[in-house]
């Protein structure tokens, strides 16, 4: 006996699923996992609660689907560092990519930050496996560049942590940043400031 293949999703099903995930991103990034409800997500998506539950059986399932989609996006800028490139320019390009993500994907950044702050119960295994492996590989590459005298010697893991902190801050603490800066665009001066900071830090 052969198992029946799962039917491909229809156009309407794909549209509704995308609408649910978009609505969930808005609700989770605003209220956090604990503060969000299925009713809020359904309302934001313009669907009834029973209709939403046809696609996702629970709030946990929606949240997991969002995080799974987000993790690849989150790791891509680090994967893009070219071992054959010019070391300082590769690091600066990584800083720019992370800052651009904070500008274009602020809700995704806040969703990720909230999950980590709450102990990362749904992505801890990925953080200690896929993320750790990629960061360790990047740190080893940085160490190699430092040993060759191509960039200044600093702690490679803390260099990566600092880049995360100084770029994701603009998304995760957007309200605070804008309250301090007033009408000034937070991303107007940030790229030049961060490039100067890391160029001075890492130039041998």
Fold of 68-202: Tetracycline Repressor; domain 2 (1.10.357)
Q: CATH 1.10.357.10 in the chain, residues? A: 68-202
The pTM of the full predicted model, rounded to 2 decimals, is: 0.85
Cα–Cα distance, 189 to 6 (Å, whole number): 51
More confident residue, 27 or 5: 27
Q: Note the pLDDT of residue 197.
A: 98
CA 162 from chain center: how many Å?
A: 15
- The pLDDT assigned to 81 comes to 98
Contact 101, 77 (CB under 8 A): yes
Question: Is the model's pLDDT at 1 over the cut of 70?
Answer: no
Residues of the chain within CATH 1.10.10.60 domain(s) are 9-57
Q: What is the mean pLDDT of residues 81-100?
A: 98
| Alpha carbon distance 181, 204 (integer Å) | 33
Give the whole-angstrom CA distance, residue 143 versus residue 123.
Answer: 28
Cβ atoms of residues 152 and 199 within 8 Å = no
What's the pLDDT tens digit per position in 7-25?
667 888 899 999 999 999 9
Architecture of domain 9-57: Orthogonal Bundle (1.10)
**Using CA atoms, how far apart are residues 94 and 134, in angstroms rounded to an integer?**
14
CA distances (Å), 41 to each of 65, 112, 142, in order?
A: 14, 18, 43
pLDDT in tens, 116-156: 988 988 888 888 988 999 999 999 999 999 999 999 999 99
The per-residue pLDDT for 40 is 97
């Amino acid at each position: 006996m052969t198992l029946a293949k799962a039917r491909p999703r229809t156009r309407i099903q794909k549209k509704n699923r995308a609408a649910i995930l978009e609505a969930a991103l808005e609700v989770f990034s605003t209220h956090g996992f604990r503060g969000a409800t299925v009713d809020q997500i359904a309302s934001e998506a313009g669907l009834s609660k029973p209709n939403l539950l046809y696609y996702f059986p629970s709030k946990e399932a929606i949240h997991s689907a969002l995080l799974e989609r987000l993790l690849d996006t989150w790791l891509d800028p680090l994967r893009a560092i070219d071992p054959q490139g010019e070391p300082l320019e590769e690091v600066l390009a990584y800083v720019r990519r992370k800052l651009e993500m904070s500008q274009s994907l602020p809700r995704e950044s806040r969703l990720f930050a909230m999950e980590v702050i709450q102990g990362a119960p749904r992505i801890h295994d990925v953080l200690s496996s896929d993320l750790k492996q990629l960061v360790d590989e990047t740190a080893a590459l940085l160490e190699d560049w430092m040993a060759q005298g191509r960039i200044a010697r600093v702690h490679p893991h803390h260099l990566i942590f600092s880049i995360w902190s100084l770029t994701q801050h603009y998304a995760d603490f957007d309200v605070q940043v804008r309250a301090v800066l007033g009408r000034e665009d937070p991303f107007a001066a940030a790229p030049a400031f961060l490039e100067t900071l890391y160029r001075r830090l890492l130039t041998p």
